[in-house]
Amino acid sequence: MSHSDPNCIFCKIVEGKIPSRKVHEDEEMIAFHDIHPWAPVHFLMVPKAHIPSMAQVGPEHAGVLGRMMALAPRLALEAGCQPYPAGGYRIVVNTGEHAGQEVHHLHIHVMGGPRPWLKG
């Protein structure tokens, strides 16, 4: 697996070649608003290393994925989700075409806000 794929839209966002509305960025990950949101709050968390999907995740990815999951609650609140238990958010990882994965670079959807949502 390479660190970057020159044909991947998320790799291009990571590299700054395509603009995004950033929610967070550090040395291992970037989070940005979805350009076609399904909910009032909808952003993506993406590891900077090119991992095609959850199906390719191994023990060497545990650190970055753990940090992404631990950061998601804070980012969700900062983006406008209301606190648990009355509020909340959904975390989704689509893996493969049957699951609806459209971009083959691992990404975590964080969605929340008042219902009804466009999808889900």
Residues with catalytic roles: 107
φ and ψ at residue 92, rounded to 5 degrees: -135, 135
- DSSP state letter for 97: G
Strands 108-112 and 41-47: antiparallel
Residues 6+ apart with CB under 8 A from 110: 31, 41, 42, 43, 44, 45, 72, 75, 76, 79, 89, 90, 91
